[in-house]
Each structure stands twice: as C-alpha cells, then as structure tokens.
C-alpha cells in the first residue's frame, strides 16, 4: 500500500532558528497537506498544496509540493516555543476520494 | 476551532464489548471520515461516508462499521473489542463529495482504552 516517510522522526529547536522537515512517497499524490497535532487534540490543518511545484506560505510556515508529486517539505522560520508538537504530512489521491494517507510524523521539541 | 466535535473524549472498555463513538461535522460538510491513531503513529484511514453511504474503506475488519445521518453527524461502531483497538479515534469532515480535493478538518478525537 501507499506509505509516506517523514524525516526526521524528531528534532530539537532553539528559539529563533529555522527548521525543515520532509515527506517522501513511492506513490504520486494529487494533494499534499501538512497538519500539526498537540497533546490531547486532533490534527490541525496548516497548509494545503494542490499543484506540483506549488510553494505556499502560512505565516512563518512554508511548504512546497515536489515536482515529481512524490514529496513535500515544510519549513518553519524563526522558531518559537509554541511550535512544539507533532507535524504530519498527508497525501490525497483524487481517484481515491479524499482519503488521507499520513506519514509517521515529525516530533518537534524545544532544546533544553 | 475546526467545528468538528467528538464524544466522548475518553472511554474505557473491556475485551469483547461493543462501543459507539460519535461525531458532529462542521456545518455544511457532507463527507465524514474516521481514522484510528495508535500511540506514536500517524492516523490510519478506517472509512468514509458521503450522503449517508459508505464510500471507501481502509484495511479494517467488518466489526468496524459506521453510520452518517442527514444532519451530517456520524457514528463509528466497533464490535468484539480487542486490546489492539486501544487508540485515539479521529473524525474528519470536508466539503464536497468524493473526488474533490477539499482538505479534511479533524475533531479532537475519542481516546479508547481496552482493558
């Protein structure tokens, strides 16, 4: 079946620094979505990408839909403590309805 | 605030029992999907409902079943509960039907623990 591989699995951030995470797949997706999940809550949509090559920003977040349609990355600029959480990429194939296939997540933690 | 509400927030059951989880979709959203999220993993697609009919199913056995009602609320039913069913169950709603690429918006889930 389809699988999305996210890397890194976890990372530590220091306030003010830029961080990047990515997601790769062996399958092509029509839509890529990035969600953030905090403890005790459901995933919250951050960015949706609909076209290969598309680059979209949402505040300090920037995400790109890879040209091959098999990958995407998410950048967070000027990290702040509230960026802590688990970030999930999710792919959608139009022919399969709008069922989401999720990656395993990148856990973002604050450096002690 | 996604407008998707789930109940209950937490539930404890024992093996062999049956459970019903509930979801109220965002107003106007006619597609609802259910996901199972095991600890430390990403959500896994269970099934999707559109206009009160199942429209797509993931790799889950028939003891996982669902309903969608005319007011867009929905239920997930699980029979003969097993220990591995312990997970966070998430409901997500979206606008427009299958084949659209409208993003899904999630509720905060029901944490189900099986003893």
Name A36's bridge partners: A44, A87
Residues 6 or more apart whose CB falls under 8 angstroms from that of B43 comprise A43, A88, A100, A102, B35, B36, B37, B90
Q: Measured between CB atoms, which of B90, B99, B109 is closest to A97?
A: B99
pLDDT digits (tens, 9 = 90+) for B3-24: 899 999 999 999 999 999 999 9
Does any CB of chain A come closer than 8 Å to the CB of residue B70?
no
Helix (H) or strand (E) holding B47: strand B44-50
Q: Measured between CB atoms, which of B42, B56, B92 is closest to A104?
A: B42
Question: Residue A85: left (phi > 0), alpha (psi -120 to 50), or beta?
Answer: left
Task: Decide if B45 and A43 are in contact by the 8 Å CB cutoff.
Answer: no
Cis peptide leading into B10, omega within 30 of 0? no
| Minimal C-alpha gap between B16 and chain A (Å) | 26
Q: Is the dihedral of CA B92, A91, A85, A83 positive or negative?
A: negative
Contact A91, A2 (CB under 8 A): yes
pLDDT by residue for chain A (112 residues), tens only, comes to 558 999 999 999 999 999 999 999 999 999 999 999 999 999 999 999 999 999 999 999 999 999 999 999 999 999 999 999 999 999 998 777 678 999 999 999 988 7
């Amino acid at each position: 079946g389809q699988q999305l591989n996210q890397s890194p699995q976890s990372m530590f951030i220091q306030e003010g620094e830029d961080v990047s995470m990515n997601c790769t797949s062996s399958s092509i997706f029509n839509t890529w979505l990035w969600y953030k999940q905090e403890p005790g809550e459901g995933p919250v949509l951050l960015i949706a990408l609909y076209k290969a090559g598309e680059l979209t920003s949402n505040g300090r977040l920037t995400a790109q839909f890879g040209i091959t349609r098999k990958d995407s990355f998410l950048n967070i600029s000027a990290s702040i403590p509230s960026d802590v959480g688990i970030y999930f990429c999710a792919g959608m194939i139009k022919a399969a309805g709008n069922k989401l296939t999720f990656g395993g997540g990148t856990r973002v933690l604050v450096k002690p | 605030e996604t407008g998707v509400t789930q109940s209950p927030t937490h539930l404890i059951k024992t093996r062999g029992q049956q459970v019903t989880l509930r979801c109220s979709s965002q107003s106007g959203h006619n597609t609802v999907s259910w996901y199972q999220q095991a600890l430390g993993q990403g959500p896994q697609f269970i099934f999707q409902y559109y206009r009160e009919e199942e429209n797509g199913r993931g790799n889950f056995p028939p003891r996982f079943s669902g309903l969608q009602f005319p007011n867009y609320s929905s239920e997930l039913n699980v029979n003969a509960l097993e220990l591995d069913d312990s997970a966070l169950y998430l409901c997500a709603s979206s606008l427009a039907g299958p084949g659209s690429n409208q993003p899904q918006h999630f509720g905060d889930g029901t944490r189900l623990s099986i003893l």
